[in-house]
Amino acid sequence: MKTRALAGISAVALATLAVLPAAADPPPTAVGNTIHGFVVADGRPRTVDHPRATTTPATSDGYAGTGTLGINDRGDILGVYVDRRGGIIRHFVLDRKGRYREIAPPRQRPPGLSDELVDINNRGEIVGFYDDDQGFTTTSFLRTRSGRYVGIRYPGSQVTGVLKINDRRQAVGIYADSTGVHGMLWDNGRYRTVDVPDATATLLTGINNRGQIVGSYVDKDGAYHGFRRDPAGDIATLPEAPGADPTSGGTQPASINERGQIVGLAYDANGGSRAFRFQRSRYTMFDGPDATYTRALDLNNRGQIVGDYGTNPPRSSP
C-alpha cells in the first residue's frame, strides 16, 4: 500500500504507510526476493507456494512468488501470487482440503486501477483496496460471498485503505486527508476515526469479534509503537518485541483473535523483519526457512497463523 504526497501531511505520517504490515505489498527488504506464503498450525511454518507462481523476479527490483494474507476459522486462506504466465498478479482462496480457487477481479473496477485483497472472514467476505497504475492506494472495498463489491471510502479522504474485517462486518484500516493519517473503523457502512492520543499517525490493522483492535502509531519523535484498544476505548501500548527498532518500524501488530492472541512483525534497525506471536505478555519470535524477512499477517480463533517470508531467488544455470 502506498499513497501520494498529500498537502499538509508530515513526512513522518506519510512514512507510516511505507511499512504498513498487513497490506499485500512486501517490505522494502523483499526487493529481488522469492516470496513464499506460510501457515503455522502445529508450531512451525509450513510453506504455501501456488503451483503456478513464478519463483524468479523478472527484474532485480521486482518480486516473485506467493503471499498468504488472511485466514478464517474454517482454515480458508486468502493469498496472492505472481503468475509465471505473463507475470500477472492474481488472488486465490486455498481451502483446508488443499484446493485453490481463483478470485476474478471486480467487473466494476475503475479504469486504470488494480485491486489488492487483504483479509477474509468466516462469512467468506473479503476486503481490499484499489491501487492506481503507479501502485498508489486510492479507495477500498468489501467483496461479499456472492461476488458483489461494496465501496469503502472515508468521507473527505484522499486515501482509504482497509486491512482487516471481522464476522460482524466491522473493518479497520487507515485513511489520509489534509490533516494526516488516521485509524479508521468501518461498521457496516458507518465510519469512525480511531486515533491514538498525541500520535502523529495511527493505523488500525486488526479487529476481532469482541471489538478489540490492534494497530500501530507514530509518536512525536517519529518512532513506531504497537497498541491494543479494548471495546471501551482504552488503549495500551505493547512492549517492544525482541530486536525491534522503533525508529525503523518497530513492533507492528497485524491481527488479534478472540483469545487475545496477537501476531505481527518486528522491524530491526536494518529494515528486516521477524514474525511474532504475543500472548500473556510474552513474545514468541519465528522465521520462515532460510528467510531474509518474515511477516505474520493474520491468525484465526484456532491459533493458526499465516504470513509470508522471502528467500534469495534460485540461481540460474550457467
Residue 211: predicted pLDDT: 98
CA distance 157 to 138: 9
Percent of the chain's residues with pLDDT above 90: 69
Strand ordering across the sheet containing 149-152: 114-120, 126-131, 137-143, 149-152
| 76-108 tens-digit pLDDT | 999 999 999 988 889 999 999 999 999 988 766
Residue 177: predicted pLDDT: 87
Residue 9: predicted pLDDT: 35
Distance of CA 251 to the CA centre of its chain: 14
Residue 5: predicted pLDDT: 35
Percent of the chain's residues with pLDDT above 70: 85
Residue 108: predicted pLDDT: 66
Residue 98: predicted pLDDT: 96
- 161-175: average pLDDT: 96
CA distance 287 to 294: 6
Q: 16-25, 54-63, 279-288 — which one is most confidently predicted on average?
A: 279-288
pTM score, two decimals? Answer: 0.90
Residue 136: predicted pLDDT: 63
As a whole number, the mean pLDDT across the chain is 87
| 186-243 tens-digit pLDDT | 999 999 999 999 999 999 999 999 999 999 999 999 899 999 999 999 999 999 999 9
pLDDT category, 278, cuts 50, 70, 90?
very high
- 269-281: average pLDDT: 93
Confidence check: pLDDT of 6 > 60: no
Residue 229: predicted pLDDT: 98
Neighbours of 136 (CB within 10 A): 16
**Buried b / exposed e along 85-100 (16+ C-beta atoms within 10 A):** eeeeebbbbbeeeeee
Residue with cell 484500516: 173
∠ CA 26-147-107, rounded to 5°: 80
Greater pLDDT, 53 or 158: 53
Ramachandran class of 259: left when φ > 0, alpha when ψ lies in -120 to 50, beta otherwise: alpha
Residue 317: predicted pLDDT: 39
Residue 15: predicted pLDDT: 40
Ramachandran class of 225: left when φ > 0, alpha when ψ lies in -120 to 50, beta otherwise: beta
Going by their DSSP bridges, the two strands 282-286 and 100-103 should be labelled as unpaired
Superfamily for 11-311? Answer: TolB, C-terminal domain (2.120.10.30)
